[in-house]
Structure formats: structure tokens, C-alpha cells
Amino acid sequence: MQNPIDFQGFIQIAVVVKDIEKAAAAWAELFNVPVPEITNNPPQENPDLTYRGKPAYYGLKVANISAGPFVIELHEPDERDSTFREFLDKHGNGVHHLGFQVGEKRDAIITELESLGYETRTVGYYPGSSWTIVDCEDAMGVNLNIKPRA
């Protein structure tokens, strides 16, 4: 790639699960850390969130476990269409994406990935940053989350 992703930007492993309470307890036990707080994000109208090029409307429970320089994110989607529901329906529990902070190279990396045949699956904007899930499942076994900053 002309715009390679730097390993120093590796910040996240996201795991989609059917039962976030069970998964959070199991991860906490494995690392001997407190069970992480689970945040329930109900569906809401958000013009800054898309899924497969259309406005997205879904709920998601999330729990984060700090793991040194990166975070393990657990995601339990509701039944509405989303990248997380798509993954869970297709694969069951598993690693949905690896997240990378890439700074100002975000647009160039996403454009290059798209030119290589990897579709943008989800884009979300929030104050100060954004996240873009690029569909790399078939070739890489996992999606990529490309963020300008964490």
C-alpha cells in the first residue's frame, strides 16, 4: 500500500458477542480485573452514522477493557441492521474489527482500501474524531476500524 497502516497506531480489538454480561465477566476473570461497566446505547436518529451507505439506526451495548496500549471493546448489538448485527448473524461471537489510529492519513487509507476492493461498511462521526469500519472480512478474516485519533 502507498499509505500503509503503522503498527504504532494499533489501539483496539472489538469483539461482537451475543451476551455482553457473560462475555464481560469472562474477560474480567481472565485478566483478573473488575468487570467493566456496560453502557447501553439505545437506537437514536444520528445524521453522522451510516451503515452500508445509508443512515443507521440501531442500539448497541458496549464494554471496554483497558489492555495496556489498546482496548478490548465488547459489542452486543440489538436486532436492527448494523455492522455488528451483520457480523453476529454471519459468524456468531468473534473479533469484528481491529482499530487503528492513523491521524491525517485517514482519508488516503480509506480511499486506497476502497480501490483495493474493500467496501466502507460504517462511518460514524463524533466530536473531535470519527470511526470508519472497512469490510475486510473475506480477505483478512476481520474488519478494520480506521480512526484519525482515538
Per-residue pLDDT of the chain (150 residues; tens, 9 = 90+): 999 999 999 999 999 999 999 999 999 999 999 999 999 999 999 999 999 999 999 999 999 999 888 999 999 999 999 999 999 999 999 999 999 999 999 999 999 999 999 999 999 998 899 999 999 999 999 999 999 998
**How many angstroms separate the CA atoms of 103 and 50, rounded?**
21
Secondary structure of 48-95 in HEC code, one letter for each residue: CEEECCEECCCCEEEEEEEECCEEEEEEEECCCCCHHHHHHHHHCCEE
pTM: 0.93
What is the rounded CA–CA span in Å between residue 99 and residue 136? 13
Write the single-letter amino acid at 78. Answer: D
Domains defined along the chain, listed by start: 7-147 (3.10.180.10)
The neighbour count for residue 85, using CB atoms within 10 Å, is 20
> For the chain, how long is the longest CA-to-CA vector?
43
Q: Pairing state of beta strands 94-101 and 38-41?
A: unpaired
Q: What is the per-residue pLDDT for 150?
A: 83
